[in-house]
């Protein structure tokens, strides 16, 4: 699936994704994998994902959710949800509504996830 196909009908989500892509491009080399349900950023293993909640939950949600895998539970109140799908691997879910939310905190979380995925 292409990015255009993934974001068809979700233009606001695409703008947020493009802002995330710029931020991730500043961190280091990575691969982008697009599937039907999500977009993954991968180093040796996947470390961050973007997905469209309205596609699965109906309208009225954030245009884009960024999920970040960290080896620790980050206590920021910005996370919508944090789960531990396997011991020592914490999945942090962040709702994004505006490119300004992709700030230094997000950059640091993504860099930490990128470093541990290498």
CA geometry: angle 42, 10, 39, nearest 5 deg: 10
pLDDT at 32 over 90: yes
**Residue 7, domain extent:** 3-116
When divided into structural domains, the chain yields a total of 1
Query: What CATH number did the domain enclosing 106 receive?
Result: 3.90.1150
Output the pTM of the full model.
Answer: 0.94
Average pLDDT in the 22-33 region? Answer: 96
pLDDT at 56 over 90: no
Sign of CA dihedral 47, 5, 16, 21: positive
């Amino acid at each position: 699936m292409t990015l255009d196909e993934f974001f068809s009908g979700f233009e606001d989500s695409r703008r947020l994704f493009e802002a995330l892509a710029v931020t991730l491009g500043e961190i280091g080399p990575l691969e982008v994998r697009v599937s039907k349900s999500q977009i993954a950023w991968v180093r040796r293993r996947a470390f961050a994902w973007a997905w469209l909640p309205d596609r699965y939950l109906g309208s009225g949600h954030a245009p884009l959710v960024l999920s970040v895998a960290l080896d620790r539970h980050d206590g920021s109140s910005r996370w919508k949800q944090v789960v531990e799908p396997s011991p020592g691997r914490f999945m942090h879910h962040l709702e994004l509504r505006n490119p300004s939310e992709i700030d230094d905190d997000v950059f640091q979380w993504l860099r930490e996830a990128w470093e541990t995925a290498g």
